[in-house]
Structure 1
Amino acid sequence: MSIVKEINKRRTFGIISHPDAGKTTLTEKLLLFGGAIKTAGAVKSNKIKDHAKSDFMEIEKQRGISVATSVMGFEYEGRKINLLDTPGHQDFAEDTYRTLTAVDSVVLVIDCVKGVEIQTEKLMEVCRMRNTPVIVFINKLDREGQDPYDLLDEIEEKLNIKVKPLSWPISMGKTFKGVYNIYKNNLLLFQASRRELKGDVVEIKNINDPLVDQYVGESYAKQLREDVNLIEGVYPAFEEKDYLSGEVAPVFFGSAVNNFGVKELLDCFIEIAPVPRERETEERVVKPDEEAFSGFIFKIHANMDPKHRNRIAFLRVCSGRFERNAPYHHVRLGKNIKFSNTTAFMAQDKEIIDEAFPGDIVGLYDTGNLKIGDTLSQGEGGMYKGIPSFSPEIFREVVNRDAMKTKQLEKGLVQLMEEGVAQLFTYEMGARKVIGTVGALQFEVIQHRLKHEYGATCDFLNMNLYKACWISSKDKKKLDEFVKSKYRHIAQDKDGRLVFMAETKAWLQMVQDNFPEIEFHFTSEF
């Protein structure tokens, strides 16, 4: 099969949302439709052993939240779908930001009761940076939520994107009747606690069909007709090109926990979502249908299987065909590497694959050669762009609680930092180790994983730090002088880059004014 045919079959997307909007539940329902799983897990319940398929780390099961990105592939209607379920919790936002570099589009889940929340806004900012196409799924219609028009206005205002409803709810909460599918011109009738995947779909000629009155009642049918007429008057006709350029977000309504409205979302998604797109390296723009293979590492996970100390790097294939056992050029190290053990994912389950195409996510077993942001190619030298580390917001010093396990602690910290769980800064003076994270929950995860995966125990001491700033200068002499004068506040990140650890905003401003030749960067990509 030609590479172009393979590319056109693929859809690679991420699901993003604020915590508790129903993202992991929606993920599972999509997997059910794709036949990838047979029963949905219980995300929140500790009593049920069959947890959400995409939440496989012990701490995720205990807390009922996703803390690492899960990758799942499945076939649906002749398409190969690669789905990345991201952490919703803001403390794990950096993992989500990196994952958004590996997808071609996203589905944004919004709780109809709570509307647009803070984390939703932050995630959307990252999508805006790359003009990533977005489909919105407004969830939990079986609950009493906000007025649909208010929700659409809020999405446009807070997320800075135009919307176009492609389905419309008929009431909500206790009187929720169903959804009218504007995109396909049919009626989807709601039944609470539906466990089958196929809902009652009523084919109608148009919105004025008497069948609408028959199924939802006259008053609801009248309101629906008024709503649909208003929608068609207020919102311009749906244009696929506007969606693909990231300017307009199609909106669907449903209830993921009840398997309701999910199929309509998925059917529209496979029709309009982008196929794998071209991507930029430091040297040029790479098209997916080029013959030569290339791809980048956007995530690393150690100990996915606690019984085997394995380390898996997640590779997004960007161009050409990836083949198992073929030698590929590691751009950063400047050497060739072969991968004999390459896998495709269904959350924790893996299967060996011999080849992969643009859009696919491949797991590479690794002994420590690969880092987040690394590029693999068939000889070309450019690194893929756009996978930065952001300056953390919370800083704590690492205190070893067991001197006999120092080596285990060192190894654990290095491996967890390479996964991108948090950032490690080692002070030039005294070799103090400081961990920086986006949120406090990360420290719990690090402690838990150090203890259970590496047998090491540590405490964290709070540190009064405002920002970690990567520093550079065109004048090496000036940079050396700055490092010498501020040596008590200089650290190195895990890659050996110099970082200035600023204690307050005012002090950072003063230092910037006093040293104009030094550039201070809030992301590691500069």
Structure 2
Amino acid sequence: MRTLNLGILAHVDAGKTSLTERLLYTAGVIDHLGRVDSGDTQTDTLALERQRGITIKTAVTSFVTGSGDRARVINLIDTPGHPDFIAEVERVLDILDCVILVISAVEGVQAQTRVLTRALRRVGVPTLILVNKIDRAGARTDELLAEIEARLRVAVVPLSRVEEAGSRRARTIAYASTDPIFHDSLVERLSRGDDQLLDDFVADRHLSAGRLGASLVSQTIRCQVCPVIFGSAITGAGMDQLMAVIADILPATEPVTDADPSGVVFKIDRGTRGEKIAYVRSFGGRIAERDMVTLLGSDDRTTQQKVSRITVFDRAGEPTGGPLEAGRIGKLWGLAEARIGDQIGTGARHRLDHYFTAPTLETVVSPVDDADRGPLRVALDQLAEQDPLINVRQDDAHGELSVCLYGEVQKEVIGATLLTDFGIDATFSESSTICVERPVGVGTAVEFMRDAANPFLATVGLRVEPEAGGSGITFDLEKSVHGTMPVAFFTAVEETVYETCRQALHGWQLIDARITLTHTGYAPRQSHAHQGFSKSMSSTGADFRDLTPLVVMAALRSAATEVLEPVHRFRLELPAALLDRIYPVLAAHGAIPQPPVTDGTVVVMEGDIPAGEVHGLEQELPSLTRGEGVLDSPFDRYRPVVGRPPERRRTDRNPLDRSEYLLRATRGKGARI
């Protein structure tokens, strides 16, 4: 049976979870419609989700549509809409076959809608747009379609129209292929991406429903167009047509059973006894209980793990056992070493990529009871399994633990989770901005073995040079360094380079840099006469791991780095009468607004604001605008810091202080011969 892994994505409060509930109800899987505000939906199962009325964790549920050869399993992946939990969305983009992008008919295109659309274009996931909440006062239709095309830069193909929009009687009318106006409109829209379609139309002046439908399916799959359905997840308007589009237009996966098992881990959870549970999307082959599977990490670590239990999502339930077939999503027990992004199998690449920026805020987490300091680290490590981007950071010198954040709501959720799930009452420092560093020029450095200043039996030379924005860190080998040196020593240098780049000259993560290994040298395995292998005479991996940070920092000093701060792009709507009051507040938060656009009694203003000032502006806005101001502020870019660059306290052995570093690195190792 074919499978369609269908993501539900949207800005917060656009109606994703309500849509998931409605689709399950329409498919006959559930006989009662749960509501977000009642806390009884199928996918928002966490107590925190029910208390707050928002989705925090990605959830999977399933139903079957069609019969016979047309039968297909639909896995619905409900994702968070709040920007603080964008990492949950990122982790599912690579496992999806298609997406329903939900847009409110009232609020229209919002900040998160634009962020998600950009990511979907990068990934190339076919997208269907549902304009939801047509029953709410202020619902828009034709005007909203123009807004979607203009602001999201996508080609839309509306498949229905709305009658009595903005009332509880709102209903949708599907366009008929026999309608000449719809026929010509469809030809006009589809011919932009199908030259043959235009030629056929010019020749015949009328195209069959089958010909138009085939072109619509083809262009949807190639992400050239986005079909649009109007509806209401609350009243059920338009849901039958939506189900038909899911069955007839969106592409399902044909199972590849005659292949080695392959898949990807996209979510980690913990069971009631603390056991690790890996959520896996299977791409090929078959995984059964008691099978040994190969886990390949993004850092190229490889482990063999035995699957002890499997459940597969099916009809909103999880039957015990398996197997996990190609195309399906299941939960696997026994993979104790599994991490998010791990690939199952060593064949085709199925690792997860990054499509959104890393968190731009960090905070220090401290237990209220000092006796909880050890358990706090364990708890944070488990939370980092589920969300690696919180990046738990331990400063042993000052006895502090810190985590990275997308926003203040995420901080509140982490605090509540620590208390409810682990029994740890914790406090958080005021959030601070996470900057980054990038090289300004080209820098080189080399440390030669047996030089008086180098106590390690290793030669390492590196060149650092800037790369294009968004390229991260690239590690290369100069052709001249290939030789007889053991592969393990090359690996030690590469791994240490990446680790060292987490704290560059000013303590921030290095980005947009190419680092090339230019010199190598080692001492072959030697021993004293009639004795075994001697570390004092032969190079070890530790020599390269200890020396590399010194060379990285010397090369960075030669290149010089600049510190960049994260900047958000804000869009502020407020009553026109309050415009004069907002300028001094924006200036106080370091925001740089563009000229406002007035639409009747409402003003729309866009501009830049430092990431660290967003929360402060959010807190002031309600009282400043009498609750009528609406602020969207997604991350936009990094920009160079003006003035003295901020420093981040180091948590490593500080290779910038050579004498202290060498003292720590060589302590207890004895002298070299």
Larger Rg belongs to? 2
Partners of 1:429 and 1:343 in 2: CA distance = 41
Please state how far the C-alpha of 1:270 moved relative to its aligned partner: 1.3
Partners of 1:463 and 1:503 in 2: CA distance = 17
Give the paired residue count.
Answer: 445
The reply to whether residue 340 of structure 1 matches residue 308 of structure 2 is yes
Q: Give 1:295's aligned residue.
A: 263
Q: Give 1:95's aligned residue.
A: 88
Residues 317, 175 of structure 1: alpha-carbon distance in 2 compared, 3 angstrom cutoff: closer
Please state how far the C-alpha of 1:381 moved relative to its aligned partner: 8.5
Q: In the alignment, residue 89 of structure 1 is paired with which amino acid?
A: H
1:235 is paired with a residue of what secondary structure?
helix
Q: CA contact under 8 A between 2:262 and 2:282: conserved in structure 1? A: yes
Q: Give 1:145's aligned residue.
A: 138
The match for 2:295 among 327, 330, 338 is 330
Please state how far the C-alpha of 1:467 moved relative to its aligned partner: 2.8
Please state how far the C-alpha of 1:490 moved relative to its aligned partner: 5.4
Q: CA contact under 8 A between 1:391 and 1:467: conserved in structure 2? A: no
Partners of 2:152 and 2:146 in 1: CA distance = 10
Q: Give 2:443's aligned residue.
A: none
- Structure 2 runs not aligned, ≥5 long: 191-211, 438-471, 478-492, 511-544, 553-560, 566-638, 646-673
Summarize deviations over 1:369-420 as a string: whole Å, max 9, x none. 110110111x548562525774212211112222212232111100111101
Q: In the alignment, residue 259 of structure 1 is paired with which amino acid?
A: G
Q: CA contact under 8 A between 2:6 and 2:100: conserved in structure 1? A: yes
Summarize deviations over 1:427-457 as a string: whole Å, max 9, x none. 5672633211222111111111111111222
- Supply the RMSD in Å over aligned alpha carbons: 3.6
Summarize deviations over 1:51-80 as a string: whole Å, max 9, x none. 111100000010111111110121111211
The match for 1:318 among 283, 301, 308 is 283
Please state how far the C-alpha of 1:45 moved relative to its aligned partner: 2.9
The match for 1:136 among 121, 129, 134 is 129
Q: In the alignment, residue 130 of structure 2 is paired with which amino acid?
A: F
1:391 is paired with a residue of what secondary structure?
coil
1:257 is paired with a residue of what secondary structure?
coil
Partners of 2:311 and 2:83 in 1: CA distance = 29
Partners of 1:91 and 1:55 in 2: CA distance = 17
Q: CA contact under 8 A between 1:405 and 1:455: conserved in structure 2? A: no
Q: CA contact under 8 A between 1:394 and 1:440: conserved in structure 2? A: no
Residues 151, 314 of structure 1: alpha-carbon distance in 2 compared, 3 angstrom cutoff: same
Partners of 1:413 and 1:144 in 2: CA distance = 44
Per the normalisation by structure 2, the TM-score is 0.60
The reply to whether residue 401 of structure 1 matches residue 394 of structure 2 is no
Please state how far the C-alpha of 1:331 moved relative to its aligned partner: 2.0
Q: CA contact under 8 A between 1:315 and 1:363: conserved in structure 2? A: yes
| Residues 353-432 of structure 1 mapped to structure 2, 5 A cutoff | 353-366=321-334, 368-377=336-345, 380=347, 384-387=351-354, 390-420=357-387, 422-426=389-393, 430=397, 432=400
The reply to whether residue 243 of structure 1 matches residue 220 of structure 2 is yes
Residues 447, 42 of structure 1: alpha-carbon distance in 2 compared, 3 angstrom cutoff: same
Residues 269, 509 of structure 1: alpha-carbon distance in 2 compared, 3 angstrom cutoff: farther
Q: CA contact under 8 A between 1:294 and 1:317: conserved in structure 2? A: yes
Q: RCO greater where, 1 or 2, for CA within 8 Å and sep 6 or more?
A: 1
Residues 56, 346 of structure 1: alpha-carbon distance in 2 compared, 3 angstrom cutoff: farther
| Residues 432-511 of structure 1 mapped to structure 2, 5 A cutoff | 432-468=400-436, 474=476, 486=504, 489=507, 504=565, 505-507=639-641
Please state how far the C-alpha of 1:137 moved relative to its aligned partner: 0.9
Q: In the alignment, residue 308 of structure 1 is paired with which amino acid?
A: R
Summarize deviations over 1:88-143 as a string: whole Å, max 9, x none. 11111110121122111000111111111111111111111111100111111122
Please state how far the C-alpha of 1:324 moved relative to its aligned partner: 2.2
The match for 1:43 among 36, 39, 48 is 36
Q: CA contact under 8 A between 1:392 and 1:468: conserved in structure 2? A: no
Partners of 1:457 and 1:441 in 2: CA distance = 17
Partners of 1:54 and 1:484 in 2: CA distance = 36
Q: CA contact under 8 A between 2:134 and 2:170: conserved in structure 1? A: no
Q: In the alignment, residue 336 of structure 1 is paired with which amino acid?
A: Q
The reply to whether residue 256 of structure 1 matches residue 390 of structure 2 is no
Q: Give 1:113's aligned residue.
A: 106
Q: CA contact under 8 A between 1:409 and 1:457: conserved in structure 2? A: no
Q: Give 1:60's aligned residue.
A: 49
Please state how far the C-alpha of 1:276 moved relative to its aligned partner: 2.6
Partners of 2:264 and 2:226 in 1: CA distance = 28
Partners of 2:499 and 2:391 in 1: CA distance = 24
Q: Percent identity?
A: 27
